[in-house]
Structure 1
């Protein structure tokens, strides 16, 4: 039985070599690799290294070298197929059924590698010949040094339909077509079409080899030198090349990333080359497509937080958001993306030519975390002047968090977005006057975060007291709706216990009901509606609670509470926070007004106006919540 190279590569990728070897040998972390005393010869000082990223081990003492399969055969003594089956079972893969054609296909893959080596040699030769003069001039104009030219394997494809075909006749047309080097014009028309001659795919182009992680040429990219489309042309998908699973320069960037501790993802070949020539050897690029899930996973094998550095124009930023969105379901603790934005109208080569590598390093040093980029994008997507537009922002943020599969990561995104949403609309600075002046969600003057990370308004001065809530009609309506909802869904009490405990309620009956709820959440493992009523006993508070449970009594988001406990929790938290902010803002406004009267100057007037605007925003939101159709 013969297995396909694709299957074996996937098996190696899914196998953690350090974990496999660590089952029988003591291994220790050494930078991005692992070390151990070699199991193949006696030694006291470790010279056996394990590289998970490349998937091989190597002993500098005895020369032992291999991958996961070789480890199973050489160290464990298993036959090849038994080794593959054991590794596949651990990796959750099914071993393909015997296929008599597999051996032939494996041989063909070897032949295709030989074809690509020959093609690369031909392209390099043509770049140095008479036909390559225009390509050499282009490289000179772009400032590509001779060392860079050799390192990246620049070549040239003659402007001819059959130059390559004629030079590589030894491999035969079918193999050249399968390698993506020739185009068969009849391939899509079937046997009914008259047979036409195949011809070279790359003609009159500056050529760049695309290599796999092992440094083997698997495809080519060609840039047109004169007029014509497309500007860049890549090899088609072949048995060797899958553009959605390959990153340009991965073979060189991988070792460079171990030195720098980072990976830079840019838009194209020439961006990578410009960065490498300027000293940034850890750059890679997707191959004419948006960054794929597999490419993101490949990047995470190199570093925990790759930096995506796309152009500052609309197309570049759109590509960045596509990558961010695609990464959401894959996020896990420690693994994320960062985003560095180039100045508008400049690519890495432009910036480095104009201002040098230091300017590029500065751009990279201020890369935004993924959460910052997503927040900024959604916040700036549309105006946020009306309740409907603000609600749409909240909905878009919810869609982002819903896409995150890992529960812990999702919970942190939910918390951060909620805090920034509240701070944006309920704690705006006086200078802004509106949400569009508050982009970024930074710290507000006079506002601080509490222990849970929520924004809190300025504390009233010592000796003053904020009034109790539940006095005005709006507050009374919202408070009663919240309490009625908590009675019907008591599992929510513990989730909001800290904020509920801090509420100062003027109505003694409502205060008593809330106190009983919070106390029960501390003393009982599970709080249920009937249990709460039992605790209340008979009397005014009990009768009020029974009245709140009547079907015709209004409550807070009753239907959504049954369908989505997470949404209920968020809605309740917002309502409770708004109620708590009202008295505090009134106290802060009174104090700011007092100071302005005592010493009226520009600073005290601005402070009084700032708090006044915050109070107006709060009152507006209170009215929106209290008059919402969700309270029925």
Structure 2
């Protein structure tokens, strides 16, 4: 519906901006204006101003600015027509007359809404019937007690073909309306129409006014082809433009300053029951552009929560590709990836709310997910492959339409590429010029904002003359000289983080070799690695080992004790993982101390440093025994 300027001005004249804002923000008068804490950002010093004479609010911390309609849209997630209707009612201004067509369409909508309300009542009542015992048992097994059934309107569709049809008919609803609402399966080739939902647990789907407009059903029979079934498209329900739990989550998302996007009904319900009541979900399909816009109206950086398996990653990457053209300043996505095989419901029931909160807090930014996908797609050890990676990244950059966002993505990806390729050789000063001081190197950060070990985090003291870490030489070279170590301890090698991209790529190629059907002996394994561009790395490792004066091959040949070498390798592996963990924890604590300089954070930082010193001292004490 189009609204005339006079109509909108009449609402503005009757509702001062301060009156509308004060429903959600505590304001104090200062001269001609009101001030308060921003409803859009967490802050301690008020930066939010309201001016009734000029008819607007302005938030200096977020840059948001607007009138009463914009404020209601921003804080409650309403569309413009919905905001107008809400405020017109508050102001006592009658809505404009609709055309005959509009009135007829609205009458039809109200009739269909009545059908859905009656259907919802039927399903809720049916959940209490004896034939729903298995459904009740299933829900209770998933941690949903009867109060939760009532809260979320959960019901049950009986197995009979005509149960709902007969109930609605007894309420005076004709079959044409039942079919139009999606409750019946009907058509010219169907002699007798019948219930769409049968022997299913029912989840009502509501609009922004919390009116039931559709249903989702989970099959109780495991042999049914469609485990989950949604209502079809109807005049009320457009699947790609609706979010499950949207109405209930809007206020919670505003209060929490964020929104969680899960994959299904049970995930949203489990998150709600664990206290994450700002959760929504798309309806059985990949996220749509319309749903993305709805989510962004709830929060500027929603967290998309996916299973950590391949299907979950594919869904995450589809959402990433969908969002790229629509990114704008301040609006993006974050991705929380769950342990493989667990959904939010499983994780919360098995490990508790804290485990879920930790995963959400460590959600990866979209830029990190984009980088991860492109880099993990292949090996980049030749100029041609590196050029292909850069070309792929440039293609993704071109999809970002906002010039400022695209500029910052380009800078971010350039920095990541520089770290991946390694630093360029330093230029030598000209004769007579002073040698420049070494510049402090920027610290590279991982997906969760912490510096990953493989990006230069690890700086243990036991280094050889070559500059290589003595422990890493043993960990990388022993599986090459003695492939038995690679065969027996593949999983341990896979979990290691090395201090340089060069060693980390070597580790990955070793893991690839371990997965080959044929077993490679030492010489064939070295050839395999050299063919993949690791010749220079192997040469540096061999030189470092030789300079240490105790080559492992000579050690084993002299003693015949491969088990002794294996024991040293396992000790080094254990020490390496502990050292890496402590360094990461130290960095996290340093970040926390920088943001909040409490005695508790300072004490924790000292404690971790002491543990690192003890560990490095232990390593130095055993250095003579290292191979």
Q: Give the TM-score normalised by the residue count of structure 1.
A: 0.58
Q: Deviations over 1:219-257 (max 9, x none)?
A: 000000122120000001111111101111111111211
The equivalent residue for 1:172 is 174
In structure 2, stretches of 5+ residues that fail to align are 26-37, 41-47, 54-67, 437-461, 474-498, 504-532, 534-627
The equivalent residue for 1:357 is 353
The equivalent residue for 1:134 is 134
* In 2, Cα distance between equivalents of 1:130 and 1:136: 10
Q: Kindly tell me: are residues 276 and 415 of structure 1, through their superposed partners in 2, closer, same or farther at Cα, counting changes over 3 Å?
A: same
Question: Secondary structure of the residue that 2:234 maps to in structure 1?
Answer: coil
Q: Kindly tell me: are residues 329 and 76 of structure 1, through their superposed partners in 2, closer, same or farther at Cα, counting changes over 3 Å?
A: farther
Q: Deviations over 1:562-586 (max 9, x none)?
A: xxxxxxxxxxxxxxxxxxxxxxxxx
CA contact (8 A) 1:25 1:36 kept: no
* In 1, Cα distance between equivalents of 2:232 and 2:320: 26
Specify which of 210, 219, 243 is matched with residue 224 of structure 1: 219
Shift of 1:176: 0.7
Shift of 1:118: 0.2
Q: Deviations over 1:426-475 (max 9, x none)?
A: 339xxxxxxxxxxxxxxxxxxxxxxxxxxx96999xx98569xxxxxxxx
* In 2, Cα distance between equivalents of 1:399 and 1:612: 25
* In 2, Cα distance between equivalents of 1:426 and 1:22: 63
* In 1, Cα distance between equivalents of 2:281 and 2:316: 13
The equivalent residue for 1:544 is none
Q: Kindly tell me: are residues 601 and 413 of structure 1, through their superposed partners in 2, closer, same or farther at Cα, counting changes over 3 Å?
A: closer
CA contact (8 A) 1:222 1:232 kept: yes
CA contact (8 A) 2:77 2:250 kept: no
Q: Kindly tell me: are residues 613 and 174 of structure 1, through their superposed partners in 2, closer, same or farther at Cα, counting changes over 3 Å?
A: closer
Is 2:464 the partner of 1:605?
A: no
The equivalent residue for 1:118 is 118
The equivalent residue for 1:214 is 209
The equivalent residue for 1:406 is 402
Shift of 1:129: 1.1
The equivalent residue for 2:296 is 300
* In 2, Cα distance between equivalents of 1:601 and 1:181: 72
In structure 1, stretches of 5+ residues that fail to align are 1-6, 40-47, 58-65, 85-97, 187-192, 429-455, 468-599, 615-619, 621-632
* In 1, Cα distance between equivalents of 2:240 and 2:281: 11
Q: Deviations over 1:363-409 (max 9, x none)?
A: 01111111111111111012212222211111111111101111100
* In 2, Cα distance between equivalents of 1:386 and 1:427: 16
Question: Secondary structure of the residue that 2:217 maps to in structure 1?
Answer: strand
CA contact (8 A) 2:245 2:279 kept: yes
Shift of 1:102: 3.7
* In 2, Cα distance between equivalents of 1:292 and 1:339: 16
Q: Kindly tell me: are residues 323 and 279 of structure 1, through their superposed partners in 2, closer, same or farther at Cα, counting changes over 3 Å?
A: same
Q: Kindly tell me: are residues 120 and 394 of structure 1, through their superposed partners in 2, closer, same or farther at Cα, counting changes over 3 Å?
A: same
Count of equivalent residues:
406
* In 1, Cα distance between equivalents of 2:164 and 2:204: 15
* In 1, Cα distance between equivalents of 2:414 and 2:501: 23
The equivalent residue for 1:289 is 285
The equivalent residue for 2:251 is 255
* In 1, Cα distance between equivalents of 2:178 and 2:290: 28
Question: Secondary structure of the residue that 1:340 maps to in structure 2?
Answer: strand
Specify which of 313, 318, 325 is matched with residue 309 of structure 2: 313
Question: Secondary structure of the residue that 2:298 maps to in structure 1?
Answer: coil
The equivalent residue for 1:234 is 230
* In 1, Cα distance between equivalents of 2:267 and 2:288: 19
The equivalent residue for 1:380 is 376
CA contact (8 A) 2:135 2:220 kept: yes
Is 2:203 the partner of 1:182?
A: no
Q: Deviations over 1:584-623 (max 9, x none)?
A: xxxxxxxxxxxxxxxx961553289999989xxxxx9xxx
Q: Kindly tell me: are residues 75 and 214 of structure 1, through their superposed partners in 2, closer, same or farther at Cα, counting changes over 3 Å?
A: closer
The equivalent residue for 2:72 is 51
The equivalent residue for 2:200 is 205
* In 2, Cα distance between equivalents of 1:277 and 1:394: 45
CA contact (8 A) 1:54 1:213 kept: no
* In 1, Cα distance between equivalents of 2:502 and 2:358: 38
Shift of 1:422: 2.2
CA contact (8 A) 1:55 1:67 kept: no
Q: Give the TM-score normalised by the residue count of structure 2.
A: 0.58
Q: State how 1:424-503 maps to structure 2 within 5 Å.
A: 424-427=420-423
* In 1, Cα distance between equivalents of 2:221 and 2:186: 25
Q: Deviations over 1:286-332 (max 9, x none)?
A: 10111111111111111110000100000101101110110111111
Shift of 1:32: 4.0
Which structure would you say has the larger Rg? 1
* In 2, Cα distance between equivalents of 1:611 and 1:244: 45
* In 1, Cα distance between equivalents of 2:16 and 2:466: 70
Is 2:158 the partner of 1:158?
A: yes
* In 1, Cα distance between equivalents of 2:501 and 2:226: 59
* In 2, Cα distance between equivalents of 1:602 and 1:55: 60
The equivalent residue for 2:387 is 391
Question: Secondary structure of the residue that 1:602 maps to in structure 2?
Answer: coil
Question: Secondary structure of the residue that 1:168 maps to in structure 2?
Answer: helix
* In 2, Cα distance between equivalents of 1:427 and 1:23: 64
* In 1, Cα distance between equivalents of 2:177 and 2:139: 31
Q: Kindly tell me: are residues 73 and 273 of structure 1, through their superposed partners in 2, closer, same or farther at Cα, counting changes over 3 Å?
A: closer
Q: Kindly tell me: are residues 56 and 333 of structure 1, through their superposed partners in 2, closer, same or farther at Cα, counting changes over 3 Å?
A: closer
Shift of 1:26: 4.2
* In 1, Cα distance between equivalents of 2:324 and 2:208: 26
Q: Kindly tell me: are residues 613 and 340 of structure 1, through their superposed partners in 2, closer, same or farther at Cα, counting changes over 3 Å?
A: closer
CA RMSD of aligned residues (A): 4.0
Q: Kindly tell me: are residues 262 and 606 of structure 1, through their superposed partners in 2, closer, same or farther at Cα, counting changes over 3 Å?
A: same
Q: Deviations over 1:488-531 (max 9, x none)?
A: xxxxxxxxxxxxxxxxxxxxxxxxxxxxxxxxxxxxxxxxxxxx
Q: State how 1:563-602 maps to structure 2 within 5 Å.
A: 602=464
Question: Secondary structure of the residue that 2:204 maps to in structure 1?
Answer: strand
Shift of 1:115: 0.5
Q: Kindly tell me: are residues 273 and 395 of structure 1, through their superposed partners in 2, closer, same or farther at Cα, counting changes over 3 Å?
A: same
Q: Kindly tell me: are residues 458 and 156 of structure 1, through their superposed partners in 2, closer, same or farther at Cα, counting changes over 3 Å?
A: farther
Shift of 1:271: 0.7
Q: Kindly tell me: are residues 271 and 458 of structure 1, through their superposed partners in 2, closer, same or farther at Cα, counting changes over 3 Å?
A: farther
The equivalent residue for 2:589 is none
